[in-house]
C-alpha cells in the first residue's frame, strides 16, 4: 500500500516508527524481535533507515521486505543518493519492487566523515525523486525529509524552504521532519510550508530524550535547539539517569499530545530500536 493512501484514508494522525538495521557484526535477525514488538503497537507504517552506522545499506531492503511480507505493514525504505551511481540506485529500486516494497524516503544523505567524497549522479534529494519518477513511473510512493529549524547546510531558513518546495514539486507525496523539541518551531514551519503551496501531509519527527549523551549527539548532528523547559529538565536530572529517562518519555508524550491537538498529519517516532519506549508512549496516546 502506498503511504499516501494511508494519509488519505485515516481519520486522525498517522503514526509511524523508525528503526535502523543492526550493525554488520550482528546477524540481521537481531532486529526481528524488535520489529515484532513494534508491530503489535499497530503503527500505520514502519520506516527503515539506510546506511546507519555504516555498511548496513543492503540490510534496509531485506528488513523492509520482512516488514511487508511477514507483518503486512507498509514499510518505508530510506534511500540516500549522495555518491551513488544510477545503476546502483536502479538495482535497489528493483530489489525493493521484487519484495513488494512500494514506499521510499528519498534522501540526499551526508558526506562520509572520513575519506573522499565520490562524485555520484545525484546532487540533491530532488534529483533522486526525479530519477525514481522517470525510471519507475507509478511504482513507488515517495517521501522526503524536512527541517523545521532549517537544514544545517542551508544559508537561511527561507532558502531551505524554497529548496523544499522544489523537491516536493518533483513528486514527493509526504514529508517527515527532522526531530525537534519545540512544537512552536514545527507549527511555524508548517505555516510557511502551506503558504508556499506545500500541501502534502507533514509528519512530525519525535525523538524521546533518554540520556544526556544522546541529546548532545543529536543536537550536534542535526542542530535541533533545546527549549528552556527541556534544558531545565536535563539539568534537574543531571545525576539521575533513570529520572531523566522517565522525564524524557513524559516530555515526548506531552509534545505529541500538543501536536495532535494542533492537527498534525502524523507522528513519526524515532524509536532507536527500543520497543519499550514506543510502548510507553503509545499507551499514553
Ligand atoms: P536535500 O533535500 O537534498 O537538501 C540538502 C541540502 O541541500 C539542504 O541544505 C537544501 O536546502 C539544499 N538544497 C536542496 N536542493 C537544492 C538546490 N536545488 N540548490 C541548492 N541547494 C539545495 N541520512 C542517512 O544517511 N540515512 C537515513 O536513513 C536518513 N534518514 C533520515 C530521515 C529523516 C526523516 C531525516 C529528516 C533525515 C534523514 N537522514 C538520513 C539525514 C539526511 O540524509 C541529511 O539530513 C542530509 O544532510 C540531507 O538530506 P535531504 O534528503 O534532506 O537533502
Residues 206-224 have pLDDT tens digits of 999 999 888 888 888 888 9
- Which of 58, 108, 205 to mutate for ligand 1's pocket (most ligand atoms within 8 Å of CB)? 108
Rounded to whole angstroms, the Cα distance separating 57 from 230 reads 34
pLDDT, residue 223, reads 87
pLDDT, residue 116, reads 60
Cell numbers representing residue 149 in the block: 529549524
pLDDT band at 25 (very low <50, low <70, confident <90, very high): confident
**Using CA atoms in the order 126, 65, 94, 173, what is the torsion angle rounded to 10 degrees?**
-30
Pocket of ligand 1 (CB under 6 A): 49-52, 78, 80, 105, 107-110, 124-126, 145, 151, 153-154, 160, 163, 166-167, 176, 178, 205
Rounded to whole angstroms, the Cα distance separating 141 from 3 reads 7
Q: Over 90: is that where the pLDDT of 113 sits?
A: no
pLDDT, residue 45, reads 98
Annotation says 18 is catalytic: yes
Residues forming beta bridges with residue 103, ordered by sequence position:
141
Mean pLDDT of 126-155: 98
Q: 51-60, 128-137, 208-217, 239-248 — which is least confidently predicted? A: 51-60
Cell numbers representing residue 193 in the block: 510550508
Pick the residue whose CA is nearest to atom 41 on ligand 1: 109
Q: Over 90: is that where the pLDDT of 118 sits?
A: no
- Does residue 12 contact residue 40 with C-beta atoms inside 8 Å? no
Q: Over 70: is that where the pLDDT of 50 sits?
A: yes
Quickly list H helices, the chain: 3-9, 32-39, 57-71, 86-98, 125-135, 157-169, 183-195, 212-222, 228-236, 241-261, 275-284
Query: What residues have CB less than 8 Å from 194, skipping those under 6 apart?
Result: none
pLDDT, residue 260, reads 98
Mean pLDDT of 165-172: 98
Rounded to whole angstroms, the Cα distance separating 111 from 126 reads 17
Of 197, 202, 75, the closest CA to residue 141 belongs to: 75
DSSP one-letter code for 143: E
Cell numbers representing residue 44 in the block: 500505520
The tally of CA atoms less than 13 A away on the side-chain side of residue 222 is: 20
Percent of the chain with pLDDT over 90: 86
Q: Over 80: is that where the pLDDT of 115 sits?
A: no
Ligand 1 centroid – CA 126 distance (Å) = 9
pLDDT, residue 119, reads 75
**Using CA atoms in the order 107, 42, 5, 207, what is the torsion angle rounded to 10 degrees?**
-30
Pick the residue whose CA is nearest to atom 51 on ligand 1: 107
Does the pTM surpass 0.95? The reply is yes
Rounded to whole angstroms, the Cα distance separating 17 from 123 reads 28
Rounded to whole angstroms, the Cα distance separating 39 from 130 reads 32
Q: Over 80: is that where the pLDDT of 16 sits?
A: yes
Domains annotated for the chain, with CATH where assigned, are 3-284 (3.20.20.220)
Amino acid at each position: 500500500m502506498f503511504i499516501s493512501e494511508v494519509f488519505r484514508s485515516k481519520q486522525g494522525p498517522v503514526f509511524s516508527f523508525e528503526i535502523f538495521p543492526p550493525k554488520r557484526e550482528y546477524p540481521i535477525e537481531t532486529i526481528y524481535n524488535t520489529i515484532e514488538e513494534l508491530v503489535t503497537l499497530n503503527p500505520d507504517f514502519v520506516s527503515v533507515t539506510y546506511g546507519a552506522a555504516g555498511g548496513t545499506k543492503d540490510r534496509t531492503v531485506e528488513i523492509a521486505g520482512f516488514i511487508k511480507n511477514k507483518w503486512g505493514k507498509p514499510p518505508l525504505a530510506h534511500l540516500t543518493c549522495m555518491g551513488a551511481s544510477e545503476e546502483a540506485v536502479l538495482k535497489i529500486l528493483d530489489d525493493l519492487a521484487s519484495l513488494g516494497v512500494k514506499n521510499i524516503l528519498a534522501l540526499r544523505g551526508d558526506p562520509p566523515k572520513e575519506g573522499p567524497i565520490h562524485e555520484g549522479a545525484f546532487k540533491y534529494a530532488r534529483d533522486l525523486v526525479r530519477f525514481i519518477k522517470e525510471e519507475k513511473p507509478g511504482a513507488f510512493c515517495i517521501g522526503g525529509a524536512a527541517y523545521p529549524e532549517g537544514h544545517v547546510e542551508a544559508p537561511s531558513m527561507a532558502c531551505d524552504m524554497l529548496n523544499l518546495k522544489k523537491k516536493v514539486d518533483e513528486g514527493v507525496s509526504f514529508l517527515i521532519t527532522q526531530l525537534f523539541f519545540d512544537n512552536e518551531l514545527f507549527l511555524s514551519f508548517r505555516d510557511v510550508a502551506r503558504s508556499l503551496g506545500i500541501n502534502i501531509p507533514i509528519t512530525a519527527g519525535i525523538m524521546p530524550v533518554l540520556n544526556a549523551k544522546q541529546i548532545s549527539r543529536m543536537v550536534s548532528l542535526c542542530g535541533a535547539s533545546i527549549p528552556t523547559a527541556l534544558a531545565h529538565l536535563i539539568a534537574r536530572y543531571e545525576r539521575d539517569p533513570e529520572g531523566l529517562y522517565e522525564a524524557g518519555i513524559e516530555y515526548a508524550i506531552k509534545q505529541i499530545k500538543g501536536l495532535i491537538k494542533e492537527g498534525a498529519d502524523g507522528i513519526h517516532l524515532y524509536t532507536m530500536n527500543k520497543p519499550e519506549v514506543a510502548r510507553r508512549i503509545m499507551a499514553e496516546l
